[in-house]
Every structure is written in structure tokens, then in C-alpha cells.
Amino acid sequence: MFNAKLSKAINEQINKEFYSSYLYLAMAAHFDAKALPGFARWMKAQAAEEWEHGMKFYEYLYEVDSSVELKGIDTPPVKFGSPKEIFEQVLEHEKSVTASINAIYELAKKENDPKTELMLHWFITEQVEEEKNARDILDQLEMAGNNSFGIMFLDKHVLGARKGD
């Protein structure tokens, strides 16, 4: 029988990953409306990745003979600020996801569940990359400042160059 506390925490994490997907899709919609298709492309790829993260936890629960209990996904914001403000929001959001994964890792250690610790290694590594990506884009947006050519350059050649959607 899989640990009930861990099952609850992983189910909550599934919800957080699906909310992340929804949040980034809302940001994509904002960028599409602002005629910044590169930023929108990046956000759509990120939304797809978050869905995959949720599904990785989903599959894990069945691998360990536990079960998935889906809850409602919160409504993401409709209004967003500048690209820089949005990426500040992305970085803060990713930091909160990192904290949440670290908390499950601590729980797995406390509950003596090495297989869940091991499964979480992938997510811990992934979060380092997620935070770095957001920080790098934020640095580039700071360089661009309010220069619309700078923003358009990033849209076309940096964010728009992201693979997958």
C-alpha cells in the first residue's frame, strides 16, 4: 500500500503542474493578443511541458499502485503586465513549484520512501533548468529595457526559436 501522505502530496502536485500549464497558456494568449508570436510560442511550449510534468506524476501514482484524484484547476489571470513583469511572475511561479517539490522530497525522506525520493530527482534537476531559463530571459528583457526593437528581436530570434509547441 502506497503511503497516503505522499499520495495526497503528489495529487496536489499534479494539480499545481496542470495549473502551471494553464497559467502559461494564459500568458501565451496575452502575447498572441499583443502580436508577439515568439513569446506566445515559448509559452505554449512551456504549457505543454507542464502538462507532461503533471502526467509524469500521474503515471507514477499508478506505478506504485496508488490512485489519481483530480481536483478543479484554478482560473489563471487574464490581465498581464510587460514582458519583463511576466517573466518576473514566471520566475516567482517556478520558485514556488521548486519549493513544493522540495517539500514532497522532504516528506518522502521522512516517510522512508526511497523510490519516491528517486522519482523526484528528475523533477529537482528539471526545476534548476526551469528557474535558469526564466532568469536568462529576464536578464535579456532587462537589457532590452523599453526598446521595442530589443523586444521584437527577442520575440523573433530567442523566444520564437524555442523548439516544440
Residues that bind ligand FEO (CB under 6 A): 17, 20, 50, 53, 94, 97, 130
> What is the sign of the dihedral through the CA atoms of 34, 38, 42 and 48?
positive
Specify the residue, 92 or 142, whose C-beta has the smaller distance to ligand FEO. Answer: 92
DSSP label at 149?
H
DSSP label at 112?
T
**Residue with nearest beta carbon to ligand FEO:** 53
The least CB distance from residue 130 to ligand FEO, in Å, is 4
Specify the residue, 17 or 113, whose C-beta has the smaller distance to ligand FEO. Answer: 17
Phi-psi group of 124: left, alpha or beta (phi > 0 → left; psi -120 to 50 → alpha; rest → beta): alpha
The least CB distance from residue 1 to ligand FEO, in Å, is 28
Q: Closest by alpha carbon to 84, among 160, 153, 146, 24?
A: 146
Phi-psi group of 65: left, alpha or beta (phi > 0 → left; psi -120 to 50 → alpha; rest → beta): left
Specify the residue, 13 or 66, whose C-beta has the smaller distance to ligand FEO. Answer: 13
Specify the residue, 94 or 144, whose C-beta has the smaller distance to ligand FEO. Answer: 94
Phi-psi group of 164: left, alpha or beta (phi > 0 → left; psi -120 to 50 → alpha; rest → beta): left
The least CB distance from residue 49 to ligand FEO, in Å, is 7
Distance separating alpha carbons of residues 41 and 62, to the nearest angstrom: 32
Specify the residue, 20 or 140, whose C-beta has the smaller distance to ligand FEO. Answer: 20
The least CB distance from residue 93 to ligand FEO, in Å, is 7
